[in-house]
């Protein structure tokens, strides 16, 4: 039986109290619950504090360019469909320069899990305003307060055709691990936005603030995550931020549609190294 220590590569060095520690724990817990081997898991990260996650988890890792997490993760999944691929971005990384990729990945329903770490600012570069910062938020890039309305990722996902939409909280790694597990077993694109405080730069949207301003969607026994109308109402009505599994829909994934036959010549069932052929190729470059 695998344990979380089997996926622990090294100890992180984020700021004390950073929400990414909770995400680090939840990822390892989900991998263990799914009984994955480290070589079956790929983490693709973008630019931001979250981008060091794959340095500390024992799995394949790729540190992508700013906003380019999803095209890299999509390419890996379509090249080797046997891998469990998790893309990780920040709200600045995924909802700004990466926003176009975000919408199209949902529209195509590519079979990857996408975690968006939302601390409502650009944490790595000293706390500038991000697409999810609230109206009037004062930062180094908006000293008089931002005049832009915040973007809501799950709302955008729902209207863009997302088939698995959830929101978690880094302060509740047990629930977050459960959401990641469900997202990774969903056959299609899974968005899990993670509310995660930046203890260094965001003195307004803190860990305490999140705890006071979230509400669990499953507290209402009549809520059905398969009902899109109910999902939209939960996302747009009420004063608190809905957390949990918000919407899920069964729909063929992109890979299933373009590569329906596992014996199709574009689907590589055997990715083992042909040593003899490799050595012949290398001889040509000597």
> What pLDDT, on the 0 to 100 scale, is given for residue 264?
54
User: Residue 250: what pLDDT?
Assistant: 95
Distance CA 61, CA 203 (A): 32
Q: What is the pLDDT of residues 12-43, one digit of tens each?
A: 889 998 999 999 999 999 999 999 999 999 99
Q: What average pLDDT does the segment 259-282 reach?
A: 67
DSSP-derived pairing of the beta strands 190-195 and 121-122: unpaired
Q: Of 1.10.10.10, 3.40.50.970, 2.40.30.170, 3.60.10.10, which CATH number belongs to 4-283?
A: 3.40.50.970
Closest alpha carbon to 6 in 63, 58, 75: 58
Q: What global pTM score does this model have? A: 0.88
User: Which pLDDT tens digit goes with each residue over 118-172?
Assistant: 998 888 888 788 888 888 888 778 888 889 899 999 999 999 999 999 999 999 9
Q: What is the mean pLDDT of the chain?
A: 89
Beta carbons within 10 angstroms of residue 52's beta carbon? 18
The predicted pLDDT at position 262 comes to: 58
Average pLDDT on 175-202 reads 95
272 vs 103, which has greater pLDDT? 103
273 pLDDT band (50/70/90 cuts)?
A: low
CA–CA dist 113, 185 (Å, integer): 9
pLDDT digits (tens, 9 = 90+) for 74-114: 999 998 888 999 999 998 889 999 899 999 999 999 999 99
Confidence of residue 232 (pLDDT cuts 50, 70, 90): very high
> pLDDT band for position 204 (50/70/90)?
confident
Whole-angstrom CA distances from 128 to 65, 72, 74, 132, 206 are 19, 26, 29, 11, 16
The predicted pLDDT at position 123 comes to 82
Q: Tell me what the mean pLDDT of segment 229-255 comes to.
A: 94
Which residues pair with residue 193 across a beta bridge? Answer: 116, 167
Pairing of strands 164-169, 190-195: parallel
**Would you state the pLDDT for residue 248?**
97
């Amino acid at each position: 039986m695998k344990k979380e220590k089997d996926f622990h590569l090294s100890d992180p060095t984020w700021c004390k109290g950073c929400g990414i520690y909770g995400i680090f724990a939840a990822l390892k817990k989900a991998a263990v619950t799914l009984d994955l081997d480290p070589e079956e898991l790929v983490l693709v990260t973008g630019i931001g504090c979250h981008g060091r996650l794959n340095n500390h988890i024992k799995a394949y890792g790729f540190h992508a360019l700013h906003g380019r997490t999803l095209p890299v993760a999509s390419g890996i999944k379509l090249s080797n469909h046997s891998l469990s691929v998790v893309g990780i971005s920040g709200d600045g990384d995924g909802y700004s320069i990466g926003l176009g990729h975000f919408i199209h990945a949902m529209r195509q329903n590519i079979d990857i899990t996408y975690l968006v770490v939302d601390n409502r600012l650009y944490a790595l570069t000293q706390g500038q305003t991000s697409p999810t910062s609230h109206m009037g938020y004062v930062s180094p890039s908006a000293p008089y307060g931002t005049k832009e309305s915040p973007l809501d990722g799950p709302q955008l996902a729902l209207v863009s055709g997302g088939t698995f939409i959830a929101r978690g909280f880094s302060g509740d790694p047990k629930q977050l691990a459960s959401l990641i597990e469900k997202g990774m077993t969903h056959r299609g694109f899974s968005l899990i936005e993670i509310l995660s405080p930046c203890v260094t730069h965001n003195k307004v949207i803190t860990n305490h603030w999140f705890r006071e301003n979230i509400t669990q969607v499953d507290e209402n026994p009549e809520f059905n995550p398969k009902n899109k109308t109910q999902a939209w109402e939960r996302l747009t009505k009420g004063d608190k931020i809905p957390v949990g599994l918000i919407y899920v829909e069964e729909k063929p994934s992109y890979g299933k549609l373009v590569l329906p036959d596992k014996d199709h010549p574009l689907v590589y069932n055997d990715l083992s190294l042909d040593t003899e052929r490799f050595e012949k190729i290398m001889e040509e470059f000597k």
